[in-house]
C-alpha cells in the first residue's frame, strides 16, 4: 500500500513537472508580457498628458501676463484715485471749518 501511494505520488509529481509546470510558466510569461504592454501604454498616455498640460500652460501664459498687467494698472489707478479722494476730503474738512 505504501509502495502504491508512493508510486501514485511520484506519477503526480512527474505529471505536474512535465505537463502543468510548462503551461504555468507560459501563462506567467504571457501575463508578464501583457503587464509590460499595459505599463508602456500608461507611460505613453502619461507623456501625452504631460505634453498637453505643458502646451496649455504655454498657451495660457500670455493671457495670464496680460491679466497681471491689467491688474497692476488697475491697482495704480485705484491708488491715484484714493490719493485724490483723500485730498478732496481734506479740502472739504477745511471748508467745513470756516
Secondary structure class of 98 (helix, strand, coil): coil
| Confidence bin at 80 (pLDDT 50/70/90) | very high
The b-or-e profile of 17-30 (16+ CB within 10 A means b, else e) is: eeeeeeeeeeeeee
In this prediction, residue 92 carries a pLDDT of 87
Q: Averaged over 52-69, what is the pLDDT? A: 86
DSSP of 24-52, one letter per residue? HHHHHHHHHHHHHHHHHHHHHHHHHHHHH
- Does the model's pTM come out above 0.75? no
State pLDDT tens for residues 1-52: 888 888 888 888 888 778 887 888 888 999 999 999 999 999 999 999 999 9
State pLDDT tens for residues 23-36: 888 889 999 999 99
Amino acid at each position: 500500500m505504501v509502495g502504491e501511494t508512493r508510486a501514485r505520488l511520484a506519477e503526480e509529481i512527474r505529471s505536474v513537472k512535465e505537463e502543468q509546470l510548462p503551461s504555468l510558466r507560459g501563462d506567467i510569461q504571457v501575463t508578464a508580457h501583457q503587464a509590460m504592454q499595459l505599463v508602456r501604454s500608461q507611460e505613453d498616455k502619461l507623456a501625452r498628458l504631460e505634453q498637453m498640460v505643458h502646451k496649455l500652460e504655454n498657451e495660457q501664459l500670455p493671457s495670464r501676463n496680460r491679466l497681471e498687467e491689467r491688474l497692476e494698472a488697475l491697482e495704480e489707478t485705484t491708488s491715484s484715485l484714493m490719493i485724490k479722494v483723500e485730498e478732496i476730503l481734506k479740502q472739504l474738512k477745511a471748508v467745513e471749518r470756516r
